[in-house]
Amino acid sequence: MSFPWAEQYEPKSPFMKWLDSRLPLPRLVFNAVGPGYPVPRNLNFFYNFGVLAGFALLVQIITGIVLAMHYSAHIDTAFASIEHIMRDVNQGWLIRYLHMNGASFFFIVVYVHIFRGLYYGSYKAPREIVWMLGVVILLLMMATAFMGYVLPWGQMSFWGAQVITSLFSAIPLVGEPIRQWLVGGFAPDNATITRFFSLHYVLPFVILGVVILKVWALHIPGSTNPTGIDVKGPQDTLPFHPYFTAKDFFTLTLYLIAFVAVSFFIPNALGHPDNYIPANPLSTPEHIVPEWYLLPFYAILRAFTVDLLFVPAKLWGVIAMFASILLLLFLPWLDTSRVRSANYRPVYRIFFWLLVVDVLVLGYVGAMPAEEPYVRIGQLATMYYFAHFLIILPIVSAVEKPLPLPNSIAEAVLGKSAAQVAAAPSGGVVAQPAE
């Protein structure tokens, strides 16, 4: 699963030789993230966010395991056990703030990673499955983060759980039984917190499993690159180690600086103050808002305000909210352009940036109370969101005239004269030799 010019693993010490012939773990690492994995040489810093996302996942798992040692999943003690962690457990405040803000940072890097994929056409053949596994990870992340937010059993935990689970009751006929089955009762209660804790603990490991599948699938064609053209020869690539390990490590330090600055100096800026009030089923908060990373989807949910075509407004909202994520699974077939990178797609590029602005607007509207002008802005923004993926993208990719592509990555990086372009048929697809 690599290019034919990839460096082969040669165990040097007798011990490695012994180990490699029995358990080829060193070989696996060498081929996955070592010198045995050739990577397009022209990747920019946006390509580092995948590794950062993997790091963020590990931070969540490690801090989460420690928190679970001190947390108590019971409605009578959950809130106090969090304060016990914050005050009485050695460095408990550190672990908890890292976990809390780690979730936000995980979403930040994943969102950048997704938009990078949208810009450079990373979802196109032959990487459809890499992309679809990514969508699965996003869904799992959202479920995990939502359940994690319920665990402190503060006001937003309780009311967030109430709002999100009640979405299921919008489904005709079976909705209400499904909701009660998910919650384990008529309203969020002890049965809810215990099952959410159980799932919140296990889902990150499921995510880890999907990440492994995704990296595996990625290693067959390798990464895309800013030109979007295929790798054609050794002059187009560099071994992952040391080139990209060094680059990733540098970006990791920048990521850590931002992460530490927020976690240590404004640890509650991304959260909601109401979650420091213990859950009270008898007192509804003035505004119920989800965590910031779910706000765009919350805005889509709330944009549907009228019953139409025999479908109640709430059900429209629920369908649209799920559709807004699930449609990403079909992206490889909605966009038919053969050119991957938006650098060479002048029309698509405009709509891409409109989408970025649109999602930011949706996030803003999601945080605002459901009143004018926010509702109408949200409706326009939701319209654009769906129109972008379902209508504009298929049309643009059919009618757009892309800019001329460079002949090879090496040529794009080094200029025509310096590149020793391999004699590959220009424009033709180079077959990816399997190992």
CB atoms within 10 A of CB 22: 8
Buried b (16+ CB within 10 A) or exposed e, 161-193: bbebbbbbbbbeeebeeebeebbbeeebbeebb
Which residue from 112, 305, 325, 349 is in contact with other proteins, where contact means CB under 8 A? Answer: 305
Number of residues near other proteins (by CB under 8 A): 65
Hey, which residues are catalytic here?
219, 223, 247-248, 291
The answer for residues whose C-beta is within 8 angstroms of residue 274's C-beta and 6 or more apart is 154, 155, 156, 285
Footprint of other proteins on 69-128 (CB under 8 A): 80, 83, 86-87, 93-94, 97
The answer for residues whose C-beta is within 8 angstroms of residue 337's C-beta and 6 or more apart is 121, 345, 348, 396, 397, 400, 402
| Nearest CA among 267, 413, 268, 400 for reference residue 339 | 400
Which residue from 143, 320, 325, 347 is in contact with other proteins, where contact means CB under 8 A? Answer: 320
Min dist. Cβ of residue 425 to other proteins (A): 26
Distances (CA, A) of 414 to 11, 149, 235, 315, 340: 34, 49, 10, 55, 21
Min dist. Cβ of residue 177 to other proteins (A): 27
Min dist. Cβ of residue 80 to other proteins (A): 7
Which residue from 15, 18, 264, 353 is in contact with other proteins, where contact means CB under 8 A? Answer: 264
Q: Is 162 in the site for other proteins (CB under 8 A)?
A: no
Footprint of other proteins on 352-391 (CB under 8 A): 371-372, 375-376, 379-380, 382-383, 386-387, 389-391
- How far is the C-alpha of 258 from the C-alpha of 241, rounded, in Å? 25
Q: Which is nearer to other proteins, 175 or 267 (CB)?
A: 267
Binding site for other proteins (CB under 8 A): 41, 80, 83, 86-87, 93-94, 97, 238, 242-243, 246-247, 249-250, 252-254, 256-257, 260-261, 263-265, 267-268, 273-274, 276-277, 286, 303-306, 308-309, 313, 316, 320, 323, 327, 330, 333-334, 336, 371-372, 375-376, 379-380, 382-383, 386-387, 389-391, 394, 413-415, 418
